[in-house]
């Protein structure tokens, strides 16, 4: 009898444990939460990715063509996306075993995804979160998002070249779902009607009056323009931006206290961002090269809701060195009579005809180096560019982009330190540490001689 009672108790206990396990599993299915404990957060999606996925309102199907042996990596990525997007379905396709199907979808390389959404279909690179999500953002848009880069004034090249080119930036923008095309306004009377935005990537010679009139007409139709301009004398362009409430200074911003490690003071850190849609998701300082100041023009006032408005500034220790030619020979000391103490504005935005149904948008940055190959991977530079473009071409998605490993080292370390901290590092590493080692060696030597 006692044995029967023990058996019944054991069965009931086992049933209770199973019931609790089933209840916990059901509860976890209803309230699923993922905790990423990896050092690089490799199991978490970026804020921008989550923002894009939230825009998916209709069924989205992904056919992902993978290379044999890489199935699990591809599956992990799309599973992460599906966890946050119930509308997403996917199928993993072995390219080597399904050549006919791949040819039908115009796929001829590994790590390609065929996206189908609302009757539209697009083939994108799917080797990373950034590229695949960029393809999703692209197919969500009802019409192509085209960025025209003004040409003919020695602007930064979009192809691979020296460190001043925008080749890495252009690849990131393509991953974001933009089409990039050159624009020679000297041969046209107006900006093409399919332009989502026009980019002036560091012109070294001034624009013609006809080009500026075309840009003005484009803005009045609800267009968008990004002007990234270095400390150069460009009278017509400076007068044109002044008409929209901006003032470009004839100066160079110097910041020796918060310098990028190993550089002179002309490479400045930008730690202060305003609460504005163009920079709202910026949580990491960005690094500028040889930058000029951007201010509100006389007769205008700073209006963050309608513009013009300064949205990014350098540190308090920085200053604007009047007369850009002074800095070409090296560092410059602060001159109270001519120079202006920081923080210094380096980026501003404004709306054109803000009361219209579709206001135009302008973003002005006093530096073109921040998006160059030498600077693009430093700190928050990539997010600064894509966030500003995202404000010029509103998509509804925002946030920091996925982190990618650097494929090329720039000429500088991505660290920045104050002069005081640099001195501390020097005395600690170059003086104190060797001195301690030397002292220990002397003490050991003296102790051995005394024991003899």
Residues 156, 257: one domain?
Answer: yes
Tokens representing 353 are 């005809």
Would residue 402 count as lying in a domain?
no
User: Left if phi > 0, otherwise alpha if psi is -120 to 50, otherwise beta: which for 162?
Assistant: beta
Q: In 3-state terms, what secondary structure has residue 417?
A: coil
* Same domain? 352 vs 303: yes
Structure confidence at residue 311 (pLDDT): 93
pLDDT for the residue 35: 58
**Same domain as 331, residue 191:** yes
Give the domain-ending residue among 138, 164, 191. Answer: 138
Whole-prediction pTM? 0.74
How far is the C-alpha of 419 from the C-alpha of 259, rounded, in Å?
A: 8
The answer to the question of residue 130 being in a domain is yes
What integer pLDDT is reported at residue 410 of this predicted model? 43
Which domain-ending residue is among 113, 138, 163?
138
225 closest CA partner among 310, 350, 398, 395: 350
Q: Give me the CATH number covering residue 236.
A: 3.40.50.880
Of 328, 169, 340, the C-alpha closest to 247 is: 340
Contact 65, 102 (CB under 8 A): yes
For residues 134 and 150, membership in a common domain is answered with no
CATH of residue 65: 3.40.30.10
Give a yes or no: residue 294 inside a domain. yes
Q: Are residues 273 and 325 in the same domain?
A: yes
The answer to whether position 353 is within a domain reads: yes
Q: Give the pLDDT of the chain (452 residues) as one tens digit per residue.
A: 667 777 777 777 888 888 887 877 776 665 555 555 555 555 677 787 888 888 888 999 999 998 888 888 888 888 888 988 889 999 999 988 888 888 888 888 888 889 999 888 888 888 888 888 888 888 887 777 899 999 999 999 998 777 889 999 998 898 888 899 999 998 888 999 999 999 999 999 999 999 999 999 999 999 999 999 999 999 999 999 999 999 999 888 988 766 554 555 678 889 899 988 888 878 888 888 889 999 999 988 888 888 799 999 998 888 888 877 766 655 677 778 888 897 999 999 999 988 888 899 999 999 999 999 988 888 889 889 988 998 998 765 555 556 554 434 344 444 555 556 667 777 787 778 888 888 888 888 787 777 76
Model pLDDT, residue 90? 92
- The total number of structural domains that make up the chain: 2
Pair of tokens at residue 163: 């460190």
**Predicted pLDDT at 29:** 60
Residue 170 sits in which domain range? 145-392
pLDDT at 265: 63
Residue 440 lies in a domain: no
Residues 154 and 127 in one domain: no
Q: Tokens standing for 446?
A: 């003296």
Question: What is residue 28's predicted lDDT score, i.e. its pLDDT?
Answer: 64
Q: Kindly state whether residue 427 falls inside one of the protein's structural domains.
A: no
């Amino acid at each position: 009898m006692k044995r029967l009672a023990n058996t019944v108790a054991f069965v009931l206990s086992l049933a209770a444990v199973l019931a609790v396990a089933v209840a916990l599993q059901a509860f976890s299915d209803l309230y699923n939460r993922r905790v990423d404990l990896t050092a690089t957060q490799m199991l978490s999606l970026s804020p921008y990715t989550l923002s894009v996925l939230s825009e998916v309102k209709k069924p989205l199907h992904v056919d992902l063509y993978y290379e044999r042996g890489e199935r699990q990596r591809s599956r992990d990525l799309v599973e992460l996306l599906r966890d946050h997007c119930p509308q997403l379905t996917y199928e993993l396709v072995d390219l080597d075993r399904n050549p006919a199907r791949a040819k039908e979808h115009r796929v001829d390389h590994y790590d390609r995804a065929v996206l189908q959404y609302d009757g539209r279909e697009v083939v994108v690179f799917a080797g990373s979160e950034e590229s695949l999500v960029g393809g999703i953002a692209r197919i969500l848009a009802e019409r192509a998002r085209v960025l025209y880069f003004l040409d003919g004034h020695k602007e930064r090249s979009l192809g691979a070249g020296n460190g001043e080119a925008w080749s890495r930036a252009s690849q990131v923008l393509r991953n974001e779902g933009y089409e990039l095309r050159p624009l020679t306004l000297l041969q046209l009377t107006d900006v093409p009607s399919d332009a989502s935005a026009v980019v002036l990537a560091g012109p070294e010679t001034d624009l013609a009056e006809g080009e500026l009139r075309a840009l003005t007409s484009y803005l009045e139709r609800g267009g968008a323009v990004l002007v990234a301009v270095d400390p150069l004398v460009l009278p017509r362009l400076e007068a044109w931006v002044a008409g929209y409430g901006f003032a470009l200074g004839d100066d160079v911003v110097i910041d020796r206290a918060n310098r990028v490690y190993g550089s002179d003071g002309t490479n400045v850190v930008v730690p202060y961002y305003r609460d504005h849609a163009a920079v709202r998701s910026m949580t990491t300082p960005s690094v500028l090269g040889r930058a000029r100041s951007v201010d509100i023009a006389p007769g205008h006032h700073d209006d963050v809701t309608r513009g013009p408005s300064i949205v990014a500034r350098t540190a308090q220790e920085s200053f604007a060195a009047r007369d850009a030619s002074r800095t070409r020979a090296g560092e410059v000391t602060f001159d109270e009579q001519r120079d202006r103490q920081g923080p210094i504005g380096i980026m501003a935005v404004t709306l054109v005809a803000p009361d219209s149904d579709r206001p135009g948008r302008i973003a002005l940055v006093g530096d073109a180096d921040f998006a160059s190959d030498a600077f693009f991977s430093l700190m928050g530079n990539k997010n600064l560019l894509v966030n500003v473009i995202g404000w010029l071409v509103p998509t509804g998605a925002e946030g920091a982009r996925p982190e990618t490993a650097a494929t090329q080292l720039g000429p500088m370390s991505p660290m920045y330190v104050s002069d005081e901290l640099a001195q501390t590092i020097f005395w600690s590493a170059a003086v104190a540490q060797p001195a301690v080692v030397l002292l220990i060696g002397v003490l050991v030597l003296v102790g051995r001689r005394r024991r003899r």
